[in-house]
């Protein structure tokens, strides 16, 4: 595969602009996650034009990394999502693109449910064939070569499964595609009891590795999480210095971090710049005539004497266990008892909490300031148990708003606050004015909540409020 | 136009038309200095398979009537 050499880069997310600016001379490439700035329309998805324009103006080369249509499950990628994904690739002239070898949707009696988390497929030959077929189908619809990302996996290995490395290798070879080697994911897996990173690498076709991801993480309940929460741990950086020079086809080395860590001041800019410099040093270690590190002979395929669940059966059981649903069967019981699945459950709950306070920040404050935080947490817990997560944040935020209106009618000004915030989200999504009628002065209501104070006594009135996109 | 960027004017006897730029939903926040775009509010979250800190951040900016930032107990829920 004749791909251009891109260099060291950073994932792009709104909020990381200070790092992009300060690290301008250290960054050769910016990797875009297009679904993060999409909103849904009746006919598909709409991209934020201002975000696209900003990306097009950046001087660095671009890569496009999907976070919305993983290729490891029984749900094939949504064609409605692939169109705008391909459009982003063309507009940014990305030389290749990538997605995750995971699944994020399951069938529940004919209804499609989101898992809100990229869950790992069962590592069987049948599952590898399924993923390879998905990738081949995707490749036919995309204008550039495709690589899958090696995923984090908090679930214990199941008896009879292919090893992590053997599974990745089989998918890559059957699909004839590239590999995005996420070293932090593999490092998490090793720390959490799965196959050691170097053993995984020994089983991979290293000439298919086009890109490497690095990130930081944190601990939760004894597990190391792929939290993208800060600088790359020193031990992982050392490992990257060992691995990257042995990758004959690697073309990009990308750092991932969630922007909230920077915008909140939890991670300082100078620390990140020092790290980018270290990544450039590692990048410079590559030799053009390097050959894959001498690997032990690839292990033979497992004997196949242990019957593994089919991909669909695995998905239903794991998604159910991750959502805390009681389901019959040995597999569901095994997964429910897996502490790694418990970690997934906690992480998903926290993402859902983050979504609702992000989308309804004034409503959150209203409930806390007038009824106390314990009440808010009770409502949030009951909402999460009563409903499954939505694929898109806006849908989940709207569902939580509706849930509050039904279950917390005693909160003063709740209907007005929810209506204003949901209208603001619609204005952002559609780019059009949104009109909403509220029963008190919205300026006084929002100003108080914005300052973190309970609303003062407000006289009733009829306020036709126009929310303007800006 | 208020200090928060809002505008309002009386249209009929008891109906008031109020204009609120959507950016004000982020910008008027006088305490939380974190400036965010709409990431996560509309589309898919980025591929973060770890701990989401948005809820923790939201909890840090609630103050009482004396404008004192209140400690709200353990962060992890």
Please indicate whether, in this complex, the C-beta atoms of A451 and B31 are within 8 angstroms of each other: yes
Report whether A177 contacts A209 (CB < 8 A): no
How high is the pLDDT of residue B33?
A: 33
Could you tell me the sign of the dihedral formed by the alpha carbons of A409, A412, A416, A418, in that order?
Answer: negative
Which among B3, B36, B47 is the top mutation candidate for probing chain A, defined by the most A β-carbons within 10 Å of its own β-carbon? B47
- Nearest by CB to B62, from A116, A355, A368: name it: A368
Which among A259, A390, A442, A443 is the top mutation candidate for probing chain B, defined by the most B β-carbons within 10 Å of its own β-carbon? A443
- How far does A305 lie from chain B, in Å, by closest CA? 33
Q: Among all residues of chain A, which has the CA nearest to that of B26?
A: A450
Query: Which residues in chain B land under pLDDT 70?
Result: 1-18, 21-50, 61-77
How high is the pLDDT of residue A101?
A: 97
Beta bridge partners of A211: A180, A252
Quote the CA–CA distance of B61 and A20 in Å, as a whole number.
Answer: 27
How high is the pLDDT of residue A265?
A: 84
Residue A229 tokens, joined: 């929460």
How high is the pLDDT of residue B48?
A: 56
A122-154: pLDDT as tens digits = 999 999 999 999 999 999 999 999 999 999 999
- How far does B11 lie from chain A, in Å, by closest CA? 9
What is the number of CB-based contacts under 8 A between chain A and chain B? Answer: 234
Q: Between the CA of residue A228 and those of A225, A238, A249, B50, what are the distances in Å?
A: 8, 18, 25, 7
Residue A101 tokens, joined: 């070898």
* Mean pLDDT per 10-residue segment, chain A (470 residues): 95 87 96 82 75 90 92 88 91 96 86 86 98 96 97 96 98 98 98 98 97 96 93 97 96 93 88 97 80 48 72 94 85 94 93 90 92 94 88 87 97 96 84 89 88 88 84
- Nearest by CB to A37, from B23, B43, B63: name it: B43
Closest CA to B27 of A441, A361, A392: A361
- How far does B74 lie from chain A, in Å, by closest CA? 11
B-chain CB neighbours of A180 within 8 Å are none
- Nearest by CB to B41, from A118, A347, A359: name it: A359
- How far does A327 lie from chain B, in Å, by closest CA? 24
CA atoms within 13 A on the CB side of A227: 22
Please indicate whether, in this complex, the C-beta atoms of A452 and B61 are within 8 angstroms of each other: yes
Q: How many CB atoms lie within 10 A of CB A56?
A: 11
The CATH H-level (homologous superfamily) assignment of domain A7-284 is: Divalent-metal-dependent TIM barrel enzymes (3.20.20.150)
B-chain CB neighbours of A347 within 8 Å are 49-52
Report whether A62 contacts A70 (CB < 8 A): no
Please indicate whether, in this complex, the C-beta atoms of A461 and B20 are within 8 angstroms of each other: no
Please indicate whether, in this complex, the C-beta atoms of B41 and A260 are within 8 angstroms of each other: no
Name the residue ranges covered by the structural domains of chain A. 7-284, 360-467
- How far does A435 lie from chain B, in Å, by closest CA? 9
Name the residue ranges covered by the structural domains of chain B. 15-72
Report whether A131 contacts A72 (CB < 8 A): yes
Q: Among all residues of chain A, which has the CA nearest to that of B77?
A: A350
Q: Name the strand (E) or helix (H) holding A396.
A: helix A393-407
How high is the pLDDT of residue B16?
A: 63
How high is the pLDDT of residue B68?
A: 53
Quote the CA–CA distance of B24 and A97 in Å, as a whole number.
Answer: 36
Report whether B54 contacts B77 (CB < 8 A): no
Closest CA to A417 of A343, A379, A365, A372: A365
Please indicate whether, in this complex, the C-beta atoms of B54 and A358 are within 8 angstroms of each other: yes
Sequence-distant (≥ 6) Cβ neighbours of residue A247 within 8 angstroms: A181, A206, A209, A212, A286, A290, A292
Please indicate whether, in this complex, the C-beta atoms of A347 and B6 are within 8 angstroms of each other: no
- Nearest by CB to B39, from A36, A227, A361: name it: A36
How high is the pLDDT of residue B29?
A: 42
In degrees and rounded to multiples of 5, residue A80 shows phi and psi of -65, -25
How high is the pLDDT of residue B37?
A: 36
């Amino acid at each position: 595969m004749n791909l251009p050499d891109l260099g060291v880069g950073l994932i792009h997310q709104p909020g990381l602009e200070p790092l992009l600016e300060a690290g301008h001379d250290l960054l050769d490439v910016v990797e875009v996650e297009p679904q993060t700035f999409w909103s849904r329309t009746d006919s598909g998805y709409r991209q934020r034009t201002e975000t696209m324009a900003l990306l097009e103006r950046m001087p660095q080369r671009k890569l496009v990394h999907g976070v919305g249509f993983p290729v490891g499950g029984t749900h094939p990628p949504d064609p409605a999502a692939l169109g705008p994904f391909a459009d982003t690739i063309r507009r940014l002239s990305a030389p290749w693109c990538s997605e995750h070898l995971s699944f994020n949707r399951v069938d529940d009696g004919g209804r499609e449910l989101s898992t809100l988390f990229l869950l790992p497929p069962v590592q069987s030959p049948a599952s590898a064939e399924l993923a390879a077929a998905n990738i081949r189908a995707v490749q036919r619809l995309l204008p550039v070569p495709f690589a899958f990302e090696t995923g984090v996996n908090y679930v214990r290995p199941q008896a009879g499964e292919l090893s992590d490395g053997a599974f990745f290798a089989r998918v890559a070879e059957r699909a004839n595609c590239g590999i995005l080697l996420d070293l932090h994911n593999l490092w998490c897996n090793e720390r959490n009891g799965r196959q050691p990173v170097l053993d995984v690498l020994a089983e991979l076709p290293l000439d298919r590795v086009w890109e490497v991801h690095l990130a930081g993480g944190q601990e939760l309940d004894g597990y190391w999480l792929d939290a993208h929460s800060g600088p790359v741990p020193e031990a992982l950086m050392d490992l990257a210095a060992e691995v990257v020079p042995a990758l004959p086809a690697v073309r990009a080395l990308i750092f991932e971090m969630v922007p909230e860590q920077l915008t909140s001041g939890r991670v300082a800019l100078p620390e990140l710049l020092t790290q980018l410099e270290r990544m450039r040093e590692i990048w410079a270690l590559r030799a053009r005539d390097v050959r894959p590190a001498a690997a032990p002979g690839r292990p033979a395929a497992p004997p196949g004497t242990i019957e593994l669940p089919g991909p669909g059966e695995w998905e239903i059981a794991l998604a159910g266990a991750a959502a805390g649903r009681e389901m019959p069967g040995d597999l569901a019981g095994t997964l429910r008892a897996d502490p790694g699945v418990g970690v997934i459950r906690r992480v998903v709950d926290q993402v859902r909490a983050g979504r609702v306070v992000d989308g309804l920040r004034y409503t959150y404050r209203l409930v806390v300031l007038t009824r106390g935080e314990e009440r808010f947490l009770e409502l949030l817990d009951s909402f999460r148990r009563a409903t499954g997560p939505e694929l898109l944040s806006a849908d989940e935020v709207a569902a939580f708003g509706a849930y509050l209106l039904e279950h917390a009618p005693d909160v003063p000004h709740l209907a007005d606050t929810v209506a204003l915030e949901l209208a603001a989200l619609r204005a952002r999504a559609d780019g059009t004015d949104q009109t909403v009628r509220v029963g008190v002065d919205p300026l006084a209501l929002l100003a108080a909540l914005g300052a973190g104070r309970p609303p003062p006594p407000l006289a009733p009135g009829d306020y036709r409020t126009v929310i303007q996109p800006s | 136009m208020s200090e928060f960027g809002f505008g309002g004017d009386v249209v009929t006897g008891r109906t008031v038309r109020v204009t609120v730029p959507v950016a004000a939903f982020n910008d008027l926040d006088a305490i939380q200095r974190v400036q965010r775009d709409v990431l996560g509010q509309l589309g898919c979250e980025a591929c973060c398979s770890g701990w989401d800190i948005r809820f923790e951040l939201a909890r840090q900016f609630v103050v009482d009537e004396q404008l004192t930032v209140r400690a709200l107990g353990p962060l992890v829920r």
